[in-house]
Amino acid sequence: MTSSSSNPFRMPRNLTKFRIQEEEEKRQERRRQRTLKVHEKGLKPRESRRAIVSRYLQEIEQEEQKEEEERIWGGEAYIAPPKTHKPLEWDYYHMGTVRDFIETEQEISRLKYSIAVGRETIEGLKEQIPLHEEEMAKAEHRFSEEAFAKYVKEEEKKTMLALKMAEEESKAILETREKIQRTNNEIVKVKKEIVRYQEMLNYDQKCREFLWKLSHPSVAEAAGSQEADS
């Protein structure tokens, strides 16, 4: 005997709930229709231009994501629709004027063009990235070489200045030593002159004493008396 749960003719328990929701939606729709004008009755609510553009951008984003997945994963990310697949129709009626429709289409075209230009710009920037990186590497290498050359040049300049100062100091020391040597030579020369004059005086003194001894006694007495008187 078949159980009640597997009976295909058994009514679902939530059928009453679905019917109540459906009746409530119908009542709300009837209330909305009563508030509309005659030419607006029987039409679905108008979709705003912003909603159309937003939905269109969302579709473009979904297409880009799908293309990116196909590019990364190959054909594995793409699932072909069944043969019975029917494209979804937009569930709205455009109640705007022809001008509104043209403006919407123009805005969509501008968005398409902006997206295409943005993609080309991104691709161009991606292609320029390696060139910029290479130029930056060359500039960094050149800057390093220039900085090193500048450092070496400054060190050479400092070394030359230090050598020049040392040479000037050595020259001044040498000149001072030469002056001291000349002064010492002059002192030695003066000392030699003093010794020579001293020897001459001593010799002259001895000669005078010798001559006094050889002279006549009367002359010596007269000389002695003169010295006593004086």
- CA-to-CA distance for 144 and 214, rounded, in angstroms? 104
- Tens of pLDDT, residue by residue over 143-166, are 777 777 788 888 888 888 888 888
> Looking at per-residue confidence, does 226 or 31 come out higher?
31
Which range in 47-56, 67-76, 184-193 is most confidently predicted, on average pLDDT? 184-193
Look up residue 11 and give its DSSP letter.
Answer: P
Nearest to 115 by CA among 64, 52, 55, 69: 64
Listed by start position, the domains of the chain span: 15-45
Banded pLDDT at 91 (limits 50, 70, 90): very low
Joined together, the tokens standing for residue 155 give 């060190």
The pLDDT score that the predictor gives to residue 55 is: 74
Could you count the other beta carbons within 10 Å of the beta carbon of residue 60?
14
Contact 53, 108 (CB under 8 A): yes
The pLDDT score that the predictor gives to residue 92 is: 44
Nearest to 94 by CA among 86, 105, 83, 84: 105
Q: What percent of the chain has pLDDT over 70?
A: 66
- CA-to-CA distance for 177 and 183, rounded, in angstroms? 10
